[in-house]
Structure 1
Amino acid sequence: MANIVWHTKFQISLDLTMDDLDHPEFPELWETIYKTDRYYGHRGVPVHQRDLQCGGVCRDAGVEAWMHLRLRANGRREAVHERREDEARHTVPMSDEHKAYQERILRAAEEGGFHSDSEVRTRAGRSWIQTDTLVEGADGRRIGWEVQLSSVGSEGLRGVRARAAKAEKNGITPAWHTDRSDYAQRRDAHWTRSNSLPAYVIAKTGDLRVISGFRKLDFWRCDVHAVYPCPHGVRRCGEAHATPTPKDVLFDDLVRQTAAGSIVPIQFRTATKLHRFWVTSTDQERYNDLLSDTIQLPPAREDSTAPARASHNRPTCRPDLSANPPAQSTPQADQNAAPLSPLPTQPEAPAIEAESDRTYRSTASSEADHVQQPGSEGGARLLDPLIELQQVANNEQRKLRQLNGNEERKRQRQVWFEAACEVQAAVTDFARSRGLNRYEVEKELRGIVRGTDEPQDM
């Protein structure tokens, strides 16, 4: 195919890349020439009698290469050579580095026990797929290696995604390799990259390292101990996530393991982009499990609250008490017990009010008035373990502000982080054991410590 066509009768050059064929003085020139060529084709007129020749490389070389026109379904105009040898004249000769990569892929596949061949044409419907090097792997796996090096040109590649999709549709896993950083950053195919090397180095048996395109997936829980930021943009969501990290691999091992199926392509989707790279089959299975493990929230309950009515049951502030067996106690034992508090020290189990408390409440109503509320002195006294932990964390934070060296600040920051985590865990356990709102407990604790805390030398 070519972009410049020479019309032998009109004695003009036609540029198919331009809407007016570079002849604005002749409106509807394309429709006229294309309909005429189609009429010749329906009448069986040979191509060499249709007045169209290659006006680019072939004409510059002094060769009369006859052509016919074709209009693609997407509206693209094409001029097709009559003979294949004329079409080959437009092909850029293969570089020595490209040949060296083909030879290395063939040698690596053969050492792994896999059959491979270069410049393979595979039938795909009514067209063909041309593959630089095709490796026949295990379990019917077919890896189609496409090598694109610096000699391709600065204008870049076109139709990579279409070629890769066409190969995948016909059972070929596309593997694109390059030595250019701008090609490796593309997301239209699964690209791998090595350093730019001369042909004699590529052809050697020594190690050839792939520096881009193969990654390791780190799986982690989004909590206060995580080192990665939450991909959802929140503080900590508590869900499991996966983060890809670059990892080097030898090119020969990559060829053999992709054929064996131990290294596979993957599509990793972030909030705004879709990345394509290679991972181990184990990481792919774990990532698929992570995607399939979606957490479904229970449906909202319908508001079926009955109208309020009188109740003879005594009031309670603790739900689901009926699930626990009632404790056996006596009035004398209850008199020795300390009064309940919304913020006490952490007990072994939630306290349960006994049936005999009714008699005791009638005779000891004055003692019930001594129940301490959050924020009072009694509540602060009962929160001594939590207050001490919070004060320790605050003191560690103050020490961090007084340090200047990077190493000292790094060590102190870790100490402060561990102390803060201990406080958060203690508050969570306390709130859960008492059936209280964790946020309210933490807020009350910070208010108490803020009013009483003073710097201490820990």
Structure 2
Amino acid sequence: MANGVWHTGYGIAINLSLPDLGHPGRPDLLREITASVAERDPQLLECLAHHDGRECASESGGKSPWMFIRRGRVGGRRPLVASHLPVTHRATPAESEQHKATKERIVETASRYGLEADAEVPTANRRSISDALVTGPGGIRIGWEIQYHHLSPSSVHRRSVNAVQNRVTPLWVAKDRTASLIDRAPWARVDDMPWKEIAGGREMVIRGGYRYLQTWKCAPSSPRICPVTDGAGHCEQLHSEWFLPALCHPEKKAVQLEDLVLSSATGDSVPVYVPNRGGGRAGRHMWVPAADCRLWQEMTGQTDPLPTAEPQEQDDEITFAEQEIDRTCRAGEEGRFVSDARPVRDLGQPTGGFTLARMPAQRIMSPLITPVERAAASAALGCPPWELGPCAECGQLMRRYGRDAAMFCSVCRAVLNGR
């Protein structure tokens, strides 16, 4: 990690390992160099090797010799580290035409369905502009953001929060599985195709970002492996997870861009945020059928589908090791987000697992089965709630009434037949 950088404005070398940065006469230097790149000249800080006329590994790799300052994390210490700026991507003519064609297709689709739609609409406070704003009959406003090149996660979050505060639901569109916007806000991924095919009406399938809730009883007859035992057996519990249409049982029809334009504006598709199982703030944003969302909320109590402003956190105290300045280019040692390829974010795996302890049993004294249990059992067994009833042997809910009804659940039938 680089502990030094050249300040092109002052013409000085800065030693980031010293409390005074090697310049005691400049008390505001730390604040100046740690300011956001958006608030200063991007070429203010330069790789020392590049300034000295030696090889800058970042520049020779087709990237940037210019730098920014961040807090590192090394063995519990928080040193200041100079890292190379990624090259700011400028849309190529082809990408610009892709963007324009997608925007126009969204507006034209909405208009064809009788929805109000406009392009390049600023928010009320004019802090951001939606590529396309679609308004549904109930007043739902969807702000479509077509983002076919890299945008920082913080920018995605900031613009999404601004949209929500202006009563607009953001919907980001990507074409790359590594796009930083994935899971930073409600999103959808489409294929990377020539703009003429987009404008010409070629099918635009939503490849990622739209899912269905699948609820099933974990039994030998289930087509799915047990997420608790990782396929080693069946736990007889109720599981729920979100799946892509192609991975559902039975398989769901693929969602087209036109489908999402209409259903998001009418409220038939809604955004959902599913925290990771391990807790914390990380999780998954997705679009889902409204009915699936209601069931999920009943089971989990999750009610925050959209990005909100995060509380301000105090930065850790900076650690100064007081070392000699290192004038070697350290590109490639600065962390994944600077030098390595961006990770694949749209993995397509099932997510948001939720498990009820067991298929609920009918209580002897009174029907105390909760609405959540009844809804989950209904979804898992594929029957309406009024066809549910207790197994005559173990008391667990099963399909007791209506077509294909039985007196005993499959587990009890197997035991009784083996007697």
Which TM-score applies when normalising by structure 1?
Answer: 0.44
Looking at secondary structure, tell me which structure has more helix per residue. Answer: 1
Higher relative contact order at CA 8 Å, sep ≥6: structure 1 or structure 2?
Answer: 2
